[in-house]
Amino acid sequence: MISWRIHLGDGIEQAWNVICASRGQTKRSRGDFVQVCVWLSGVMALVMVCPLTGLGQESSPESPVMSELEPALQAELDSPEAEPAVVHPRRGLFHRLGPQLVTPEEQDQAERLRNLAAKYGTDPTAIVGRVQLFSSFYNLHSGGQAIDTIARVDLPFRKNLLLRFDAPFLKWSDPNRPGITSTRGFSDVAVTAGWRAYNTPEYAILLGVISTMPTAAETGLGLGKYTVGPTVATTRFLPLWESFLIGLFTQQMSLGGDSARRSVNVSKFTGQINSFWGARWWSVAQTVWQIDWERNAKASLVLEFEVGRSMVGRWGVFVRPGVGIFGRDLVGAYDWNVEAGVRYIFPSF
């Protein structure tokens, strides 16, 4: 640093002497002027280069920030690369309603509750035997009343096949109806054949065919038609609620019978939440949506809530009140009703 300052002082002094000498002379050649300019340019270049040269000879101190970051950076480089997060694609509605992945603990819980639902007779996909007698009182929208008593027998076969028979006895009265205001007697017999197509503790599906026959004793006690249609029942375990989400669908269409009677084309959708309380109690909250395609697709909706208790052995009793929401003048709908019954469940053959 001291040496370049001495050279700079000598250069400035020489340039000053040249300028002073030029002032004392009356005439100066153009070459001397050019020489002075070149000399000054060299001095200025020396001034610019020397500080940079001096700075380049000094050792630059290590940055404290970089010193602190080097160990962390080295540790990050030495650590194994983290696996990228797995992003699961969004599932559609039908995929979400279908079989789901569950933990081993949830699977054990689902299996335990499925056994309870089969024992209590609340799982429509269970292949178990049943003898059930239940009766429903209906307060109709027209001002009439009806009592429908049904004897039901389920016969299971080979753990995946089921045959059901329903034999109803109907009594109704309606003072506002022209002609016959009341009647009672045997109604239309229904037969259902089902096959359980898929079965795991957390999900099951049953496919079947349901048919009714015009066996009613009186005209006002049945449809007067042969009907047939598909039926589907599904059961899915809800781990968060420790319950089952149940869906049922039935399509009923007439194929023949009394030509003077109205044709039948009815769709019925039922959604249920089946829960269990303690060691013996259960509940079923359900909604039934029905569409009558022969009446310009007019629909009805009812809400029902069942409470039941397991009695001695495989016997159980239940009560189910209900209320109509809309379409209460359709067949199968009502203003309000109360249903009660008793059932006995036995294993598959």
Question: Of residues 297 and 5, which shows the higher confidence score?
Answer: 297
Question: Of residues 344 and 27, which shows the higher confidence score?
Answer: 344
Report, as an integer, the average pLDDT of 190-208.
97
Distance of CA 215 to the CA centre of its chain: 43
Which fold would CATH assign to domain 93-346?
Porin (2.40.160)
pLDDT value, residue 80: 53
pLDDT value, residue 180: 86
Q: What average pLDDT does the structure give for the chain?
A: 82
**Tens-digit pLDDT profile for residues 87-102:** 445 555 545 555 666 7
Question: Of residues 136 and 64, which shows the higher confidence score?
Answer: 136
Q: Mean pLDDT lowest for which of 5-9, 88-92, 136-140, 333-337?
A: 5-9
User: Could you tell me which residues come within 8 angstroms of residue 284 by beta carbon, excluding any fewer than 6 positions away?
Assistant: 122, 272, 273, 274, 275, 304, 305, 306, 308, 320
pLDDT classification of 347: cutoffs 50, 70, 90:
confident
Percentage of the residues of the chain whose pLDDT score is greater than 90: 64
168, burial (CB in 10 Å: exposed 0-12, middle 13-18, buried 19+): buried
Task: Evaluate if residue 24 carries a pLDDT over 80.
Answer: no
d(CA 247, CA 198): 15
pLDDT value, residue 214: 96
d(CA 274, CA 233): 14
d(CA 39, CA 117): 108
Task: Evaluate if residue 309 carries a pLDDT over 90.
Answer: yes
pTM (predicted TM-score): 0.72
Task: Evaluate if residue 250 carries a pLDDT over 70.
Answer: yes
Task: Evaluate if residue 17 carries a pLDDT over 80.
Answer: no
What tokens does 278 get? Answer: 């303690």
**Tens-digit pLDDT profile for residues 171-188:** 999 998 888 899 999 999
Structure-token match 């089946």, residue found: 274
Question: Of residues 43 and 122, which shows the higher confidence score?
Answer: 122
